[in-house]
Amino acid sequence: MTADQLSKPESTRRRVIGIFLGGGLLASFASFLYPVLRYLVPPAVPDLGGDEIVAAKLTELKPNSGKIFRFGNRPGLLIHTASGEYRAMSATCTHLSCTVQYRDDLRQVWCACHNGRYDLNGRNISGPPPRPLEGFEVQVRGDEIFVRRRREA
């Protein structure tokens, strides 16, 4: 403590008390705010979809057509190509998350929101989409078409 402070003990005491009181008040406000901030963040919704689902029956899709199916909490797109192959991919456009569709006249995947286009492998080929659509594995077992996420190699 300097001589100057010793000569003014009252103001120093006042400052110390002020710091304690103000700090305590601020800390209590933080404790009011913290629960509110945590409350504002919604709890994560569990993805009940699992890894594999039945996207369609074998007889459901004609060649050169597509179908939106539910994969967990998000839509997926199953395509029966004109050549008879099945392809499946995420139906959420990588641009701004609209749901894409199969256009049989273009033979492409098309997003109506901003005219984004993908080829049948989900690669972005024209318009604003920045990335390809996530592709899924397709398996035909019996008369059902199974779709599953690709395992990371």
Partner 1 sequence: MSSLRNVSNWLDERLEWDDLIAPLRKKTVPLHRLSYWYFLGGITLFLFVIQVLTGILLLLYYRPGANEAFESVQYIMTRVRFGWLIRSIHSWSANLMIFTAFAHMFSVLFLKAYRKPRELTWVSGVILLFLVMGFGFSGYLLPWNTLAFFATKVGTEITGQVPLIGKPLMIFLRGGEEVTGATLTRFFGFHVAVLPGIATLLIFLHLLLVQRLGMSIPQKLEVQWTANPSAKQEMKFFPNFLLRELMAWYAALAVLGALAAVFPWNLGVKADPFVSAPAGIKPEWYFLFMFQTLKLIPSKVWFIDGEVLGVLAFGLVGLLWLLLPFFESDQPSRPKRWITGLAVFALVYIVGMSVYGYLAN
Using CB under 8 A as the criterion, which residues of the chain lie in contact with partner 1 when the complex forms?
Answer: 32, 35-36, 38-43
- Determine the Cα angle at 103 with ends 98 and 105, to 5°: 155
102: which strand partners?
A: 109
Report, in Å, the least distance between residue 44 CB and partner 1: 10
For partner 1, the closer of residues 2 and 31 by Cβ is 31
Report, in Å, the least distance between residue 32 CB and partner 1: 8
For partner 1, the closer of residues 27 and 39 by Cβ is 39
For partner 1, the closer of residues 1 and 36 by Cβ is 36
Whether the CB-CB separation of 79 and 120 falls below 8 Å is answered with yes
For partner 1, the closer of residues 25 and 125 by Cβ is 25
For the stretch 80-96, what's the b/e string if a residue is b when 16 or more beta carbons lie within 10 angstroms of its beta carbon? beeeeebbbbbbbbbbe
115: which strand partners?
A: none
Report, in Å, the least distance between residue 49 CB and partner 1: 19
- Determine the Cα angle at 47 with ends 58 and 99, to 5°: 60
Report, in Å, the least distance between residue 33 CB and partner 1: 11
